[in-house]
A and B are shown apart, each in its own frame.
Chain A
Amino acid sequence: MHLLVCGGTSCRASESALIAESLKRELEEKGLGNEVQVIMTGCFGLCEKGPVVKVMPDNAFYVQVKPEDAAVIVAEHVIKGKPVKRLLYVNPSTGEHVSGSGLMGSYRKQIRIALRNCGSINPENINEYIAREGYAAIGKCVTEYTAADVIDVIKNSGLRGRGGAGFPTGLKWEIASKNQADQKYVVCNADEGDPGAFMDRSVLEGDPHSVLEAMAICGYAIGATKGLIYIRAEYPLAIQRLKIAIGQARDYGLLGNNILGSDFSFDIDLRYGAGAFVCGEETALIHSMEGMRGEPTNKPPFPAESGFMGKPSNVNNVETFASVPVIINKGWEWFSSIGTEKSKGTKVFALAGKINNVGLIEVPMGITLREIIFEIGGGIKNGKKFKAVQTGGPSGGCLTEHHLDTPIDFDNLVAAGSMMGSGGMIVMDEDDCMVSIAKFFLEFTVEESCGKCTPCRIGNKRIYELLTYITKGNGTLADLDRLRNMCHVIKDTSLCGLGQTSPNPVLSTMDNFMDEYIAHVTEKRCPAGSCRDLMKYTIIEEKCVGCTACARGCPVNAISGERKEPHFIDQEKCIKCGACFERCKFGAVLIN
């Protein structure tokens, strides 16, 4: 028998280590030290109800356990085999105590659809994919469905594009299917470029066949025989696994002519991106695949009309494709039963930032940010206070605690001033300055702007300069109005999605954290204490013992004072490097 004690940060904070100690002591006393083991584990994702103890193999799940409960758990459950009812987890929807494996579903917030095979099959072995119903969906399509049937299934499922704006996938396929041409293309957008997002890469590395199969299904539906995967060259492992997968699929005849004995033929090639974020935009991506600068062009014409080499092309991203085979296998009814009214199924997020359980998660649409951050994510690192979460990368915005209980779906995120984007989710705490965060994203956009249209090429640069100016304490209230106007014009006039969304990080932080902007311009103060130019280091006379450590460590000799006398920082000379603060053992250096 094993007693698993949650060692996640949040449970540790509520004395889970003490609980483990108590359990061990109780077991020793009862002479069970060798038979029953107490193990500290990682986070169960139930931090709100922590500390958590799980008894194996009985699967009993105790919540909000206190150190003094150790005795009763050992005495009742371990020795007598009777679960301690009052500590058992209560299913919030039924109000019943739950034990055993029936409990699993109710506390597990994640459902893996796109990631269904990631971390379970060997991605370099096609047989393992086939063993998990792999290539059954394309088989079903070519033998049982017409192209129109396939489009209907996808339309009815309510699947929306996972790459950004959430355009209905079935509708996109339908448009491409209706455009007649001698050649059409299925394009997989694997140019994942959001800084802090790696969902697509994980799918390609963990389950490449699901994407290949889905592209073939799409080809069948729209009448294309050629597929292209546009993948970042910075993803060598994903490229390698895709190549292996394509090779194996060809060997089996699952790509190539007359797939599974049908009339349908389809093959896939790789095209490499070369480090340009704008190539995530589909027209830019197509130009890049044609060997040109990845500059976007006006839509219409949409790729469905005139895409790669001027032929009708359907572009979807990796995660969208990865969801397709399951929908065919399990039916649209099943898929559309998950999620919210307008956003069906699940979404993969790369959860990162100031959070305990950094990782890749897949959650049903409609889950709240609170559930993601405080349950799955295990709460904020180092017990700090939650401040904001950034979704949608450089195109998205920051959401605050007001949004914690908003169900997440495409439309709610847009209404809240952010967007789904590809699924980066970066958590920020009280130490993060929101003006600096906005500046960080703008720096990214400035670097990644293709330079074709004026607002994005010059406007974003001007926003970035103004944000820098503000974080140095030089801005005025009038600058904030100017900033907002520039943001609105850039959104309103830019050529492609990159420019049209690039001001979002600024606008959303202005909407939610205006007080921080005002503090920067009126008080010349950074409330989060992160803007270096606005920091002021002073020495508290009473605490300073005159050890001279700070003065010796100061790179610009800004600190003076006699030995054993309080020291003093010359603000004119100080470069705010923080060396004195780090060196002082007496807490005498104060940062304002």
Chain B
Amino acid sequence: MSSIKIELRKEDVDKINEICDSFGNEQSELINVLHKTQEHFGYLPAEIQEAIASKLNIPVAQVYGVVTFYSFFTMTPKGRHPISICMGTACYVRGAEKVLDEFKKELSLQVGQTTPDGKFSLSSLRCVGACGLAPVVLIGEKTYGRVAPDDVQDILKEYQ
């Protein structure tokens, strides 16, 4: 019959159960559970959301509603080198948009996408608080400050 079946590896199910258990399987802890799960898996694909919903005993539609509400949660895996461009006001008035455009052009990517080889993903974020360095670009853990559009090629070369 039309019962929904989700396939997951045992270690993944165990991990999800462990995370949910650590929050007492409380429905109100959904966001904390999602944080921990995304931290572990890198993203929140549908199967994992199903597993969380089942463990916390809440409708999966509600889980999905929460995942799609918060920009921190993602259903697509990030690239090995996630690129985030700060689009805070300070960075904006110092030209962050042009820097973002340059990354889009160089990588042929839109914000929220990952390159087909899984190497880079592109996102914009609100304010990293390094306004003194505006405009700021983050690649993984590394911060690039006072980035000009011309610097983009050189920055990307570091990851060739």
Contact = CB atoms under 8 A, between A and B. Distances in A.
Q: Do chains A and B touch in the complex (CB under 8 A)?
A: yes
Contacts of A292: 30, 62, 66
B93 A426 contact: yes
B90 A275 contact: no
Contacts of A531: none
A440 B66 contact: no
Q: In the complex, which range does the number of interface residues on chain B fall in?
A: 20 to 34
B35 A233 contact: yes
Contacts of A202: 129
A393 B92 CA distance: 13
A198 B92 contact: no
B31 A195 contact: no
Contact of B89 (A201, A233, A440): A440
Interface in A387-426: 390, 393, 424, 426
Interface in A282-322: 288-295, 309
Interface residues of A, number: 43
A370 to B, nearest CB: 20
A352 interface: yes
A273 B65 CA distance: 15
B122 interface: no
Contact of B131 (A273, A350, A450): A350
A570 interface: no
A197 interface: yes
B116 interface: no
A193 B125 CA distance: 10
Contacts of B131: 196, 198, 350, 352, 358
A535 to B, nearest CB: 14
Contacts of B26: 291
A288 B69 CA distance: 10
Contacts, number: 107
**What DSSP secondary structure best describes chain B's contact surface?**
helix
Contact of A196 (B65, B66, B69, B89): B89
B71 interface: yes
A357 to B, nearest CB: 9
A274 B31 contact: yes
Interface string B47-90: 00000000000000010011001111100000000000001111
B30 A291 contact: yes
Interface in A338-359: 350, 352-354, 358-359
Given A195-B126, A291-B27, A352-B134, A276 B69 contact: yes
25 contacts: A195-B87, A195-B92, A195-B126, A195-B127, A196-B92, A198-B129, A201-B129, A234-B125, A272-B31, A272-B32, A276-B70, A292-B62, A293-B65, A309-B28, A350-B90, A350-B131, A352-B89, A353-B94, A354-B94, A358-B90, A358-B131, A358-B134, A426-B89, A426-B90, A444-B126
3 smallest CB-CB distances across A and B, nearest first, come from: A198-B129, A196-B89, A352-B90
Given A195-B89, A196-B91, A276-B71, 20 more contacts: A197-B127, A233-B72, A234-B72, A271-B32, A274-B34, A274-B72, A274-B73, A289-B31, A291-B26, A291-B66, A292-B62, A292-B66, A293-B66, A295-B69, A350-B129, A352-B134, A353-B94, A390-B89, A393-B89, A440-B92
Interface of B: 26-32, 34-35, 62, 65-66, 69-73, 87-94, 125-129, 131-132, 134
